[in-house]
Amino acid sequence: MTTPAGRPARRDALLLSVRGLKVYFPVRNGSLGSASNSLRAVDDLNFDIAAGETLALVGESGCGKSTTGNAILGLVDRTAGRILLDGREIGGRSREARRPLCRDVQIIFQDPFSALDPRRPVGESVGEALFLQDGLRGAALSRRVGSLLEQVGLPASGAARYPDEFSGGQRQRLVIARALALEPLLIVCDEPTSALDVSIRSQILNLLSDLQERLGLAYLFISHDLLTVRHVADRIAVMYLGHIVEEGPLEQVFEASRHPYTQALLSAIPLPDPKQQRQRRAPPLPGDPPSSIAPPAGCPFVTRCPDAEPQCRRTPPPLTRRADGRKLACFVR
């Protein structure tokens, strides 16, 4: 249910629902380029995001985090599954049918240096969606662009300048302003601070938190940096080889994780006390993730898991809700 302004009526109202999402890419071999296999980038994903909530999607590079975000945005085609935004199907539509929904889901890209056209004043980039979707032009468009820039901590006069006149942190603010232009319900944040200096990251994270509080935004926050995630997330979903292996509230995952992969990720976070760091006993995590083209028949983590049992090699464990409220895909834990 939504308000007259088009926003969910309650902060805990279900906004995004992803069910059975699969994204496979054909792998072409041979002189004729025939597709002989598939790379399973995302394999049967299920999760929800409530209005005004931040779900962090974390995991190693190549686990399918960004592909998941791109599937929600319609930037890659789904192989299977459903994606519902505020009760409306947003997957499997034609480009024209998706157009009205573009205003409700936006993205903040990882690299602010390549996200803006260097040949155009930034005001044109920030206001482009307003021109195309709402038909704004002239003074009305200039006022709205100026307001967006001020909303992210930049002067309205900056609209006439070019991207190379701004620092990395300022460029990311411009990308955020562009994402806010159509007043979306959900923003996919794809590693939004990883390309920035450490001293600037906290400023951008604080800005995102402030905008969420004032505008009621929901975020899908994609990151491999668990320290960053701890400052912004309400819930965490841990991905491995295209699957979610553990999901739960922020503190529950950080303080009492149960999946061996989640524990390995957390053990890689450096401790501020050198003595504690030296005494830490990290769980073993041998080798590299297997290929997404030929994943294990059973649990995706079985080739690196210290607790693997015969059943783990035969059957993929379902992601099930446990008594403490978390979701876990593991037969042993």
CA 292 – CA 325 distance, rounded (Å): 30
Distance (Å, rounded) from C-alpha 148 to C-alpha 310?
56
Query: What is the mean pLDDT of the segment spanning 9-32?
Result: 82
Say what percent of the chain tops pLDDT 90. Answer: 68
Q: What is the per-residue pLDDT for 101?
A: 74
SS3 21: strand
Query: What is the strand order of the sheet 54-58 is part of?
Result: 105-108, 186-190, 218-223, 54-58, 235-240, 243-249, 327-328, 320-321
Whole-number pLDDT of residue 1: 37
The pLDDT tens digits of the residues spanning 95-141 come to 666 666 778 999 999 888 899 999 999 999 999 999 988 889 999 99
Q: Tell me, what's the pLDDT at 270?
A: 76
Given the structure tokens 């299977």, which residue do they identify?
80
User: Mean pLDDT over residues 38-61, rounded?
Assistant: 95
Q: Which residues contact 287 (CB under 8 A, 6 or more apart)?
A: 303, 304
Average pLDDT of 68-74? 93
Between these two residues, 66 and 195, which has the higher pLDDT value? 66
Q: Residues 243, 18: contact at Cβ < 8 Å?
A: no
Q: Which of 173 and 74 is assigned the larger pLDDT? A: 173
Q: What is the pLDDT of residues 239-298, one digit of tens each?
A: 999 999 999 999 999 999 999 999 999 988 877 767 766 666 666 577 788 999 999 999
Report pLDDT for 139.
Answer: 94
Q: Percentage of the chain surpassing pLDDT 70?
A: 88
Average confidence score pLDDT of the chain: 89
pLDDT tier for residue 5 given thresholds of 50, 70 and 90: very low
CA 129 to mean position of chain CA atoms: 22
| CA–CA gap between residue 333 and residue 331 (Å, rounded) | 6
Could you tell me the two tokens for 297?
């028949």
Q: Can you count the helices (H) and strands (E) in the chain?
A: 11, 12
Torsion angle, CA of 168/181/191/113, rounded to 10 degrees? -30
In a 10 Å sphere around its CB, with 0-12 CB exposed, 13-18 middle and 19+ buried, how is residue 234 labelled?
middle
Q: Residue 277 has what pLDDT?
A: 65
Provide φ and ψ at 299, rounded to 5°: -65, 135
Range picked from 90-99, 162-171, 191-200 for highest mean pLDDT: 162-171
